[in-house]
A and B are shown apart, each in its own frame.
Chain A
Amino acid sequence: MRSVLPVLTVVAVILGLWYAASVWLNAQWALDMAARQDRELGGIALVLDTWSQDKPKLPAPHQVAAELWKTTIGQNITSKRSLVYHGWVTLSATLAGFGLGTVLGISLAVGIVYNRVMDMSVMPWVIASQTIPILAIAPMIIVVLNAMGISGLLPKAMISMYLSFFPVVVGMVKGLRSPSRMQLDQMRTWSATRPQEFLRLRLPASMPYLFASMKIAMAASLVGAIVGELPTGAVAGLGARLLAGSYYGQTIQIWSALFMAAIVAAGMVGLIGLIQRVTLKRMGMT
């Protein structure tokens, strides 16, 4: 109970600010409409009007909640109007990209830790890859892969991978190097082979780093999948909903898609956190 109260307080403050902001941003439109129709609008009526417009500049929280309810619970999940359907389209690409990115990230980290040439050469490229704006190369990846006859989930997954391998490389290089000089010397006194040293010392020691990196990678991966859905012309996915919403000024649809993305991200990051807790507890590392 003690921990619920502060959370509720913060939520209440955010909702309060949000409602106030939507009054402030939507009032001009309501007043303009009233002036055109020669109506007087003020006080409570003005406030209520700003919270119930069809295409508000900033929809009120209850409008977004109603839209979320309508497009998730109120729709068959195979329907193109269902946010669950669009959410799944995005999530599947996110998970595929996250998986590929994690594997690529760990492989590069192992290479960097064990191979001197890779240690000297790979990291600058890895960092350079992340300085390129993803919005600039996402369409190129989509177009190039489409020309090669690859469309659908894979191009989006590639963009997710591009964003998500980076935190994994950085975290795992640090994690695989976390054993102390003494622990490595100790392995040497037992004449351990490199694979033995890797499996019994470096890999288990890197686990806390891996989970921290995977949480960041998952969030980045979702952003990648959404960005990957934009250039395909609003076919399906949360990115498509965002794009379609902005074409037609459907701000409520945009906000509900944004919330869906946030819920998916929070769920996935929470899931990794759960696996982290269970794994580290079983390893005796909590």
Chain B
Amino acid sequence: MTQQAAADSSLSSVISARDLDLTFQTNDGPVQALSSVNLEVGKGDFVSFIGPSGCGKTTFLRVMADLEHPTGGSVTINGVSPENARKARAYGYVFQAAGLYPWRTIGGNIRLPLEIMGYSKTEQSERVARVLELVELAGFEKKYPWQLSGGMQQRASIARALAFDADILLMDEPFGALDEIVRDHLNEQLLALWARTQKTICFVTHSIPEAVYLSTRIVVMSPRPGRIADVIESPLPRERPLDIRDTPEFLEVAHRVREGLRAGHAYD
């Protein structure tokens, strides 16, 4: 890729990583968490990152969010550095646990980033009502987190990440702690939400079916050093009912992901 071509593609893509390296200095010596990672994420993409523990998928997401700093290469978010993107409120980040404050109501929790960002009181209320609607939690604004189930809490935390209109949603195994049935339901809702809001979503997961069901692209990663083993473009349509998971196309993609993961392991 020539310099000019590289610049062009980073203009058209929302997230662009080039030769990304990240080495942690630990007591046991340096650990290479990411090695020569290259990736372009286009606007409106739903990209899943899948791989075994230690493959750097969460670290990669944290680099995009300016929570970790690469030791080599570069990342741009909307054409600017992660730090500037964070300050420009370019992304919402959903963590593994809902992380709602027990001393705030659901509404108060969603209001939290809005207060920090200095939205007016009336706008805060409007936005809280709107995102609660979006995650189907209307009517729960005055409830405290402990009054909600785990799945509802995680939906509230997604609502919180959506509240300030970031175009990018970074999700780090948001449904990892939930049971299969709740997870299916939330996956379905997430797809509906994505279709409605046109967000660009980066989604870290351990689950092959989840990755295949949700994504337009699946990034298969492998450990030691953390790197991208394969990038699979999903041939599945954007409209996906839950039973698409029984179609041959779905199983074909899942098979490719599994192959990619196995190849990554064999390299070890």
Are A189 and B91 in contact (CB-based, < 8 A)? yes
B97 within 8 A of A: yes
Interface size on B, residues (CB 8 A): 26
Are A183 and B87 in contact (CB-based, < 8 A)? no
Are A186 and B95 in contact (CB-based, < 8 A)? yes
Are B115 and A200 in contact (CB-based, < 8 A)? yes
Are A182 and B95 in contact (CB-based, < 8 A)? yes
Are A186 and B93 in contact (CB-based, < 8 A)? yes
Q: A190-B117, A196-B116, A200-B115 are in contact. Are A182 and B103 (CB under 8 A)?
A: no
A180 and B96 CA atoms in complex are apart in Å by 13
Are A204 and B99 in contact (CB-based, < 8 A)? no
Q: A182-B95, A182-B99 are in contact. Are A189 and B116 (CB under 8 A)?
A: no
- A283's nearest neighbour on chain B, judged by CB, is B103
B265 within 8 A of A: no
Are B65 and A192 in contact (CB-based, < 8 A)? no
Are A182 and B97 in contact (CB-based, < 8 A)? yes
Binary interface encoding of chain B residues 115-158 relative to chain A, with 1 for a CB under 8 A from any of its CBs, else 0: 11100000000000000000000000000101000000000000
B248 within 8 A of A: no
B101 within 8 A of A: yes
A213 and B92 CA atoms in complex are apart in Å by 37
A207 and B117 CA atoms in complex are apart in Å by 25
Are B101 and A192 in contact (CB-based, < 8 A)? no
Are B97 and A191 in contact (CB-based, < 8 A)? no
Q: Name the one of A191, A193, A200 contacting B112, with C-beta atoms under 8 angstroms.
A: A200
B245 within 8 A of A: no
Q: Name the one of B87, B95, B101, B113 contacting A185, with C-beta atoms under 8 angstroms.
A: B95
Chain A residues with CB below 8 A from B112, complex form: 190, 200
Are B144 and A284 in contact (CB-based, < 8 A)? yes
A152 and B88 CA atoms in complex are apart in Å by 58
Q: A244-286: which have CB < 8 Å to B?
A: 283-285
A187 and B66 CA atoms in complex are apart in Å by 12
Q: How far is the CB of A190 from chain B (nearest CB, A)?
A: 5
Q: How far is the CB of A149 from chain B (nearest CB, A)?
A: 46
A188 within 8 A of B: yes
A283 and B144 CA atoms in complex are apart in Å by 10
A92 and B65 CA atoms in complex are apart in Å by 53
Chain A residues with CB below 8 A from B65, complex form: 189
A191 and B93 CA atoms in complex are apart in Å by 12
Are B93 and A189 in contact (CB-based, < 8 A)? yes
Q: How far is the CB of B59 from chain A (nearest CB, A)?
A: 13
A201 within 8 A of B: yes
B29 within 8 A of A: no
Tell me the B residues contacting A by CB distance below 8 Å. 62, 65-67, 86-87, 89, 91-93, 95-97, 99, 101-105, 112-113, 115-117, 144, 146
Tell me the A residues contacting B by CB distance below 8 Å. 180, 182-183, 185-193, 196, 200-201, 204-205, 207, 283-285
Q: Which 7 A-B pairs have the closest CB atoms?
A: A283-B103, A284-B144, A189-B93, A190-B113, A192-B116, A204-B103, A190-B116
